[in-house]
Amino acid sequence: MPADHIDSPRGAGFCMPAEWEPHRAVWTAWPSHRELWLEDLPAAQREVADLCRAIAALDDDGKAAGEMIELLVLDDAGEREAAAALSGLPVRFHQVPFGDIWLRDTAPLFVRGANGEVAAACFRFNGWGEKYMFPEDLGVARAVRAAAGVHSFEVPMIFEGGAIEVDGEGTALTTRQCLLHGNRNPSLSAAEIAHHLCDALGVQRLLWLGDGLVNDHTDGHIDTLVRFVAPGRVVCMEARDEDDPNAPALARILQDLTTMHDAAQRPLEIVRIPSPGLLRDGDGRVMPASYVNFYIGNAAVIVPVYGSRHDDEAVEGIAACFPDRRTVAVPARAVLSGGGAFHCITQQEPAPLARS
């Protein structure tokens, strides 16, 4: 066993649970930077508030069936603003500097040990390959870890949480476009990257796909392409329109998935849903819209929708994968203007398990 394996998550008996396993809380952040969001800021704040309401899943008596919301805010003014928008929800506020709201990538990935203890795997972060360098983002993972009060594992590679999808049973999906891009870990080979990643998240088999969506700021994060919905089962988009800019990439991904087996040697079962199709922003640029950038909460699955004619079919297809949860469609066009959707701005903290 390599020496660096002993004090790694896998070496200590930890692994990243599947997202559908119980959560203690979800970490996210309040859109605040007017210089980044410009005229989309009020709409982005409304969409984040709607996301939080869906995650909390209040019943008729105002009791939350979902999970605690751990919300980063910049200052007192931001906390007052967010508190007014999220009134009645189970929210705990943390005044922490952050560059923007993409906590899937800037927060730690939470892992859980064989004894039920939760810890944080803290990777290095370089602004998605130095494209969007906000100095405050460099401290988010450690600040969240400290606020969560859990042990930290430091992982010696640059990585973002949106680049990995796990089934909780030893299998993970990722893309070559992102992990092998020279703007992140140019000194590491593919084998070394896979070693660090599997060691950090307790993975036995890493499945590699190719390229991601057009104009994806993240260089092809997997959470906009393919998601596990159960062990051995994934959901993936397919193009339904002739002008869908992602038709070639999605066709290749679907073809590759048909050849793959998980860590238990099961062939992957593929659930196909439509792509949103061609969406453009106000300047005419193609937007990286994805229905599979949903968040799986304790009580609800929150699916981003964009006003596409394919919205309803996609939501129904995802809902069929989660019969034990309510599936909620929430508009995400304003959040998408910043480059992502609901999975990109959330990071689940798994519930600790009772010690055996």
d(CA 246, CA 204): 30
Rounded to whole angstroms, the Cα distance separating 60 from 271 reads 33
* Catalytic residue of the set 15, 178, 198, 344: 344
For residues 163 and 199, the answer to whether their CB atoms sit within 8 Å is no
Put the strands of the sheet holding 91-95 in their side by side order: 91-95, 68-73, 23-29, 347-350
- Cα–Cα dist 30/78, whole Å: 8
Name the pairing type of β-strands 165-166 and 171-175. Answer: antiparallel
- Give start and end residues of each alpha helix (H) in the chain: 34-37, 41-56, 76-85, 103-106, 127-130, 140-148, 176-179, 190-201, 247-257, 311-319, 333-336
Backbone dihedral region of 149: left (phi > 0), alpha (psi from -120 to 50 degrees) or beta?
left
Q: Is 306 helix (H, G, I), strand (E, B) or coil?
A: coil
Is 344 labeled as catalytic in the residue annotation? yes
Tell me the catalytic residues. 344
